[in-house]
Structures are given as structure tokens and as C-alpha cells.
A and B are shown apart, each in its own frame.
Chain A
Amino acid sequence: GAAMLRGGTAVLRRAASGGGHGQGSAQPLEPSLLRFLVCPLSKRPLRYEEATNELINEELGIAYPIIDGIPNMIPEAARTTQKKPPAEGSKEP
């Protein structure tokens, strides 16, 4: 039979604190996904930025948003990031 869909609208909220299961309105990224996810363009690893709830490709300077716990890995949806000065955070090789 048809699945009964609750008319709940997902509220967009940035995850303030990481960890835990994303069943509430704050939906962080499923941690196991980080094992598999890469940038669809360069196939290179991504960095999860908790503050903005995005997956960052440092090399290309783009960020993929995570909405309702679902990472949007379509290149057209990514935004370009400003190059940050090296003092901010550590650069991983």
C-alpha cells in the first residue's frame, strides 16, 4: 500500500554540535558517509566543516551543502569558498 507521508516540513537548521543520531531537526552528516564521499569533480577527499555543515574541497575551493542530513553532491549546487589564510585551521596533505 502507499506509504503515509506525514506532512512535516523539514526545517533547515545548521548542526550546532556534532555527534549523535540525526533524528531531530538538527541533522548532521551521517559519520559513516565520510568514508565514501569524495568531490564528484576531482574525486579527491573532502573536509567536513561542522560550523557551516558543508563538505569542503580545499583544492578546488568549493563547498557542498548538507541539507536535512543529505549531502548535496551535485557540482552545480556547490558554492565557491574564499581562500582562507593558512593560519586558520591545519592544512592536511
Chain B
Amino acid sequence: MSAIWIALLETSTVPQSYTWLLPIYLVVALGCYGLFIVGFGLMFFPTCPQEAILLQQDIVEAKEFLAKKGVDVGS
């Protein structure tokens, strides 16, 4: 990272006093990009409410079977 920065400095046409700002801009830009990705992923977070219903059915089925076989399914 610092090698890239130094190389940029050498060839830079930006005034000397501003060059230290470059990596800061980069970090901020990266941060914004990261937040964007997180937000995007958050919006499209896959959810499955129907699975909860299916699970409840499975639990009822399991309890019925096991109770018949003598397994204690009370909690």
C-alpha cells in the first residue's frame, strides 16, 4: 500500500502540501464503498418465513412419533 502511495507521490502533479490527503481520501472512499455493499446486502438479505412454518410442522410430527415410541418430549 505504502509503495503504491510513494510511487504516486513521485509522479504526482498534486501540490506537495496536499499529498498526505490522498491516502485519507482513499480510506474514506473505501469505507463508503464498504458501507454501500453492506447496505445493499442488507436490503437483499435472503429471508425464509415459510421455513419457520415448515419447521413448526416438523416439530409437531416429530413429537407425535417420538411420544408414541416412549421418548419424553415435554420440555
The answer to whether A and B assemble together is no
- B residues near A (Cβ < 8 Å) are none
- A residues near B (Cβ < 8 Å) are none
